[in-house]
Structure 1
Amino acid sequence: MQKGKYALYIELKQKILTMEFDQTHSLDELSLSDQYHISRTPTREVLRLLAGEGYIEIEERRGARVKPLKSSTIIELISVAPMIYSAIGRLAVRNVLPAQIQDLKQAQQRFRKALSTRDMHGLIIEEHRFHSIIGQMSSNHYLKPSYERLLIDDVRMSHNLYRLETSEMDARRKLAAEHHDIFIESIEMHDEDSIVKLIPKHFELSRQAW
């Protein structure tokens, strides 16, 4: 992926995850092309890729916009996330590669650094990256796309966990970091039971912040 195209792809993802774009923010193809100094064809390719991943939606005559968070979406997420997250966790323990454990540890280091510096933007990005790596560990072509879509909306809906400056949210953020350490240890030890027990507790941290 060429430099300008890749920069556009990464920046749009991050702005959607961190809620810098509101839920129905329009993405103008021509403006984005000018801003990133690329032609409209690669810009269009990035928008289609993001639509396929679940970040945005593209409608005929209306163009591209950030995918809105509807009440029905939240209800569906709550009903299926624990099941899919648990399945991904089990598969991650079984299929993990050594290099992926190192990637996970590096994401956790960045998460803890963002926690210590109160970098809320960094916390959101690294939380998403941490769990996305676990999805990669699962090495399952059927579950992984659903898991990645869940992560997008889960991170967006838990926005308050990483934005509100309260003692309660501080405590939850620190607990989230502790959970990450347990995830890493459990995966290294190939301990499926610990992963499955921890997943609903970790999910509850973000759910209560919605």
Structure 2
Amino acid sequence: MPDSTPSPKDSCYQALKTAILTLELQPGADLDEASLSAEFGLSRTPLREVLRRLAGEGYVDLRQNRGARVSEMSHTTLRDFFLAAPMIYGAILRLAAENATPAQIEELKTTQARFRKVLQQGSARDRALVNNRFHEITGEMAGNVYLLPSFQRLLIDHARISMTFYRPRDAAMARSVDEAADQHDQIIAAIEAGDSDAAAMLAIDHWNLSRHRIELFVMPGGLDLPLGAPPRAATA
């Protein structure tokens, strides 16, 4: 059997990706390349390859003569997040319903089963990571070379924001999390049925479910622009 042990480069990539998604590495934090080299047994060249991969996917920024840092979450990027999220999620799920393979649908179902499990006994970190993987799979289903990079970048900030959403502070938040899981099931059903219109509608419902809670914790003062998706009649 082939050795399934991840390489030092793969281990470094996955560890940094996870730390960024779960806020163990805060937005805007500088990355200590010397420490990373020592921790993962990487010389400068393979470490820089890992960092370039992460930069290409939107996890880090590479600055000339200043090293790498975790992608920021500024007022500007969050404004863009709120504007783009419903449009991108809708397009992704519409394409997912049109293009998903049976193997991808089975993986989505398996991930949803894991999500249900971590909702019962997992941490906020576990919940955010499994939810992120659920949506990553829908992006893979969509398979659009132009849309996928934007979707992947969106998921990074959504996962970071979701560290609050998946640590419910009251009964209403807990109900919202349960409803999100129910919507995952509906999304799977629409994709499996090839119903692109239903999948796109569910994307809007799914976004609107979390939007209000995200606003409360990320932008308590509100934004000076309309949030969320346009009315459904405008998207028909």
Residue by residue over 1:78-112, the C-alpha shift from the partner in whole angstroms, topping out at 9 and shown as x without a partner, is: 11221121111111111111110011111111111
Verify the 8 A CA contact 2:124 2:163 in the aligned structure 1. Answer: no
**Structure-2 residue corresponding to 1:130:** 134
> What is the root-mean-square deviation of aligned Cα atoms in Å?
1.5
CA–CA separation in structure 1 for the residues paired with 2:86 and 2:192: 22
Deviation at 1:23, TM superposition (A): 1.2
Matches within 5 A, 1:82-101: 82-101=86-105
* Greater Cα radius of gyration, structure 1 or 2: 2
Q: Does 1:35 align with 2:36?
A: no
Amino acid across the alignment from 1:57: D
Query: Please, what TM-score do these two structures have when normalized by structure 2?
Result: 0.85
Matches within 5 A, 1:1-210: 3-210=7-214
CA–CA separation in structure 2 for the residues paired with 1:167 and 1:20: 26
CA–CA separation in structure 2 for the residues paired with 1:119 and 1:152: 18
Runs of 4+ in 1 over 3 A off after TM superposition: none
CA–CA separation in structure 1 for the residues paired with 2:205 and 2:128: 18
Residue by residue over 1:16-48, the C-alpha shift from the partner in whole angstroms, topping out at 9 and shown as x without a partner, is: 111111112211111101001222211111111
Deviation at 1:2, TM superposition (A): 5.7
Deviation at 1:176, TM superposition (A): 1.0
Q: Percent identity?
A: 44
Residue by residue over 1:117-164, the C-alpha shift from the partner in whole angstroms, topping out at 9 and shown as x without a partner, is: 042111111111000100000111111111111111122223310124
SS at match of 2:25: coil
Count of aligned pairs: 210
CA–CA separation in structure 1 for the residues paired with 2:49 and 2:210: 32
CA–CA separation in structure 1 for the residues paired with 2:159 and 2:6: 28
- Structure with greater helix percent: 1
SS at match of 1:69: coil
Which shows bigger deviation, 30-39 or 130-139? Answer: 30-39
Unaligned ranges ≥5, structure 1: none
CA–CA separation in structure 1 for the residues paired with 2:32 and 2:213: 32
